[in-house]
Structure 1
Amino acid sequence: MAHEVVRRIEEVSALLAATAPETEGLGRLSDKSVELIREAGVMRLLQPRDFGGYAAHPADFAEAVMAVARNCGSTGWVCGVGGVHPWEMALMDRRLQAEVWGDDPDTWIASPYAPQGIATPVDGGYVLKGRWNFSSGTDHCDWIFLGALVAGPDGTPQQPLKGLHVVLPRSDYTIVPDSWDVIGLCGTGSKDIVVDGAFVPDYRTIDSAEVAEGEKAAERAGRSDTVYRLPFWAMFPLGITAAVIGIAEGALAAHLDYQRERVTAMGTKIKDDPYVLSAIGEAAAEIGASRTQLLDGISRLYDKADGGQPITFEDRAVVRRNQTRCAWRAVAAVDEIFARSGGNAVRRHNVMQRFWRDAHVGLQHAIHTPGSIYHTAALTSMGIEPEGGLRALI
C-alpha cells in the first residue's frame, strides 16, 4: 500500500507538472511547487514524529521523490536532497531540533555536505569560514547543514582529518545570487553559500564519521526508530538517485505520449515501427529495473537494522554499487528513447528535452561517480578490506 504522502503527490501530479516550466524559468522552485510539496508532506517523511514527521520507511521516501520527479525534475531533486536533512537533524541535539522545528514543523533545511569550509575550535564551539557549491532549494530554507574540516593550531585542517556537519540559521550565511547558471535541473536553485566567521556552538555540530556509521549516532540521540539507525551514505544517495529515476520515468511517460500518434517524415506511424517499439520496451524495462533495485537495496539495509543485525561495510558497499548503477542504467535508457524521438524532441516546448537535460545533470552528482564505488564493492565481495580513499562516500 502506498504511503499517504505518495498518494497525495499522485493526486496533484498534473499541478506539479504544470509548475515545471515556471520553476525552470525562475531558477528556483515556483511558489506553487513549494506549496504543493509542503501540503503533501514530502519533506516530513523522514522527520521524527515528536517534531511533526512520519519517521517513515526510507523506501516510502524514495517513492515520494520519484513521484515528484516524474512531473518536475527540479522539484523532485530538491525533495530528494532536502528530504534527507530532517533524517540527520533527528540525530542532532534536541535543543537544535527545537530551534529548527519548535515553531514550524514545515521548516526546510538546506545543505551541502562537501567539506569546503574550515571550522576553528573556540570556547564553546567553532568559528566557521568557507564557500560551498550546490545548495539545492536553498532559497526556501531557513537553516543549513554544511560540511567542514576542523582546523589545527596553524589554521589549516588538522591531521588526521576530522570532518564535521555543522548547522547554521539563515542569518549566519549568505546565498550568492546568480551562482546557479546551468543546462539542467535549472529550477533547483543550487546556489553557492558563503560563511565568513560565524560562531557555531558545539550542540549544532556532529561528527560526520559518526553519522556515516548510523547506529552510534542514533544511540547517542536516543532515537529508536529503525530509520535513524541507517548509515548516511545509504540515506543521502537514496534521495538523489530516486530523483534521477523519477526523471527517467517522466521522460518515458512523455516519450510514450509523444510517440503514440507520431508519424515520421517518411510516413511511418511509430506505433507500426518495430524497431522504435523494441527500443521503448527495452528502455522501460531498464528504468523499471533501476527502480526495483534502488528500493530493494535500502529495504535490505532497513530489514537488517530492524532485526538488530549489524550493517557491515560490505553491505554498504554493495548497496552503493547498485544505487550508482541504477542511475547510470536509467539515464542510458532515457538516451535510447530520446534518440528515437526525432528532431522535434529538442524543441523547448517539448518536455522530453527538459527531462533529458535534467537526467544528465543529475548523473553529474558525486554520489553517481562509479569507478571507486565499483572498485571497492568488488574488493569487499572478495573478502578484501578496502583502505584509505576507497572507503570514501560509502
Structure 2
Amino acid sequence: MATLLESSSSGVSHEVLDRIDALLDGFRERAQETEDLRKVHPKNIEELEEAGFFKLVQPKQWGGYEADMEVFYTAARNIASACPSTGWCASIVGIHNWHLALFPQQAQEDVWGEDPNVRISSSYAPMGAAKKTDKGLVLNGRWSWSSGCQHATWVFVGGPVLDENDKMIDFCTFLVAGDQYEIDDVWHVAGLKGTGSNDIVVSDALIPSHRVLSFGDMGKGTSPGLERNDNPIYKMPWGTVHPTTISTPIVGMAFGCYDVHREHQRDRVRAAFGTKVKDDPFAKVRLAEAAGDIDAAWLQLMRNVREEQALIEGGGTPDMDLRTRARRDQVRATQRSIDAIGLLFQNSGARALQDTSPIQRFWRDANAGRVHAANEATKAFISYGQNEFGEKVTDSMV
C-alpha cells in the first residue's frame, strides 16, 4: 500500500526527486539532532547539495536544471515530510537561486562566478533601509528570521531605498555579501527549532547598484536577469513563488504526519480501554478527513503553479484572477495542513507527546510556520475579494 506522500507524487518525475527519496530515511533519523543543533544538520545540507536539490531552479548558465516549479516544490515537500526544519530551510534557501536569476548578470557573477554551489539566506521583511548617498546605497538594519543562514555566505534582505530627505523612492531586495553582515544567534523557540532562523545585522554596508533589485521591476516582469535567464520559470509572479515556498514545507509536514500517524494507529491499543484503535470506526473517519484536507491543499497549490507556468510558456501573463486565486489557495493550503495535523495529533494518544515522537514535532513545527507573514490569510482573502468585486488589489504580495 502506497503512503499518502507516494500516492500524491504521480506524474511528477526528475532525477533529483529520485535521489532525494533515497535520503529521506536519513533525514528522519537526524530530525531530533537537527533540533538539538538548532540548525539543519550539516550532513543534510551536504546530501541535498550532492543530490542536486539546490540546482533545481538555478539557471543553466550556472550549472542548474531550470526545472519546472512543480518539481522544485515537490522536492521541498518531500524533504519536509521527513524533517520539517530541513524542509523549511531547503525550500527557502533553494528558491533564492530562482530569485538571484532575476538580478543583473554582474550580481550573479559576484555570487556564483567562482563557486556555483554558493547558498543565500534571506529576510525580506523591511527591518532596515538603504539611504542614497554620494558613494551609493548605504544599508543599515537588523533583519530577523533568516532561516538556514548558517549554511549560506550571502543574504537577501528587503527594505526601502530612501533619498537624502529620508523619503522612500523604491522598495528593493538587497544582496549582501558575507563580510558585510553578522549573524546574531537568537533562535530559541518552540517550533522549527532546527531552522537556525537567526538575526542578520548590517551596519553601514555599501551596496553596489547591481546588487539591488526593485520589487517594482519584479512585479512588472522587467527584472534585468531576464535578459539572459529567459526560461519561463523566471517569469512566474513573485506573489505566487514566494508564498508557495512557505506553504509547501507545511503541507509536506502534513503528509509526513499522516503517514506516521497511520502506522502508529495500526498497532496502537488504548491503554484505558484495552481496545485496538484500528477497530474504532471514528478513527477511520478522522483519517479520511485529514487525508482529504492534505490532498486538497497540495492539489490546489500545484494547480495554480502549473496553470501560471503553462500560461507563461504559451506567451501569456498570469492575470489578477489567477494570481489572487493562487494566494487564496496558498493560505488555505497552510490552514488545511495545520488543521489536519491538529486532528491527527489529538487522536494519536499520550505517547505522541514524547520527544521521540515525530507527530509532536510535526504539530509544533507546522504551527510555527503558520506565523510567517506569507500565511496571513486575511490579507490574501481581501485581495481575492477585491478582485472579485472589480476593485483594485492593494496587496503587493500577489
Task: Give the CA deviation at 1:124.
Answer: 5.5
Alignment of 1:329-368 (within 5 A): 329-368=336-375
Task: Give the CA deviation at 1:314.
Answer: 2.8
Can you list the C-alpha shifts for 1:43-83, whole angstroms capped at 9, x where unaligned?
11111000011111111110000010000000000011111
- The yes-or-no answer on 1:117 pairing with 2:125 is no
Gaps of at least 5 residues in structure 2 are: 1-11
**2:241 matched residue in structure 1:** 235
**2:112 matched residue in structure 1:** 101
Task: Give the CA deviation at 1:311.
Answer: 1.7
| Equivalent of residue 285 in structure 1, options 251, 270, 292 | 292
Cα distance in 2, alignment partners of residues 314 and 219 from structure 1: 26
Does the CA contact (< 8 Å) of 1:135 and 1:190 recur in 2? yes
- The yes-or-no answer on 1:296 pairing with 2:303 is yes
Can you list the C-alpha shifts for 1:137-166, whole angstroms capped at 9, x where unaligned?
000001111112111323x3x24x520111
Secondary structure (helix, strand or coil) at the match of 1:111 reads strand
**1:269 matched residue in structure 2:** 276
Does the CA contact (< 8 Å) of 1:226 and 1:305 recur in 2? yes
- The yes-or-no answer on 1:83 pairing with 2:94 is yes
Alignment of 1:144-293 (within 5 A): 144-154=155-165, 156=166, 158-159=167-168, 162-177=170-185, 179-213=186-220, 215-217=221-223, 221-265=227-271, 266-293=273-300
**1:393 matched residue in structure 2:** 397
Secondary structure (helix, strand or coil) at the match of 2:269 reads coil
Cα distance in 2, alignment partners of residues 187 and 249 from structure 1: 19
Does the CA contact (< 8 Å) of 1:117 and 1:130 recur in 2? yes
Task: Give the CA deviation at 1:125.
Answer: 2.8
Compared with structure 1, are the counterparts of its residues 300 and 145 closer, same or farther at alpha carbon in structure 2 (3 Å cutoff)? same
Does the CA contact (< 8 Å) of 1:92 and 1:221 recur in 2? no
TM-score (norm: length of structure 1): 0.95
Does the CA contact (< 8 Å) of 2:239 and 2:396 recur in 1? no
Can you list the C-alpha shifts for 1:326-363, whole angstroms capped at 9, x where unaligned?
11011101111111111111111111100110111111
The percent of aligned pairs where both chains have the same amino acid is 34
- The yes-or-no answer on 1:56 pairing with 2:67 is yes
Cα distance in 2, alignment partners of residues 117 and 221 from structure 1: 30
Task: Give the CA deviation at 1:392.
Answer: 3.0
Does the CA contact (< 8 Å) of 1:16 and 1:36 recur in 2? no
Alignment of 1:6-45 (within 5 A): 6-45=17-56
Secondary structure (helix, strand or coil) at the match of 2:145 reads strand
- The yes-or-no answer on 1:139 pairing with 2:150 is yes
Does the CA contact (< 8 Å) of 1:119 and 1:149 recur in 2? yes
Compared with structure 1, are the counterparts of its residues 311 and 127 closer, same or farther at alpha carbon in structure 2 (3 Å cutoff)? same
Cα distance in 2, alignment partners of residues 245 and 228 from structure 1: 24
Q: Which amino acid aligns with 1:64?
A: A
Task: Give the CA deviation at 1:309.
Answer: 1.1
Gaps of at least 5 residues in structure 1 are: none
Cα distance in 2, alignment partners of residues 166 and 391 from structure 1: 21
Does the CA contact (< 8 Å) of 2:104 and 2:224 recur in 1? no
Aligned residues: 386
Cα distance in 1, alignment partners of residues 42 and 170 from structure 2: 39
Task: Give the CA deviation at 1:94.
Answer: 1.3
Does the CA contact (< 8 Å) of 1:294 and 1:326 recur in 2? yes
Task: Give the CA deviation at 1:306.
Answer: 0.8
Alignment of 1:308-347 (within 5 A): 308-347=315-354
Q: Which amino acid aligns with 2:57?
A: L
Cα distance in 2, alignment partners of residues 364 and 211 from structure 1: 25
Compared with structure 1, are the counterparts of its residues 197 and 228 closer, same or farther at alpha carbon in structure 2 (3 Å cutoff)? same
Task: Give the CA deviation at 1:218.
Answer: 6.0
Does the CA contact (< 8 Å) of 1:150 and 1:162 recur in 2? yes
Q: Which amino acid aligns with 2:344?
A: I
Cα distance in 1, alignment partners of residues 135 and 53 from structure 2: 35
- The yes-or-no answer on 1:306 pairing with 2:313 is yes
| Equivalent of residue 129 in structure 1, options 137, 140, 149 | 140
Secondary structure (helix, strand or coil) at the match of 2:156 reads strand
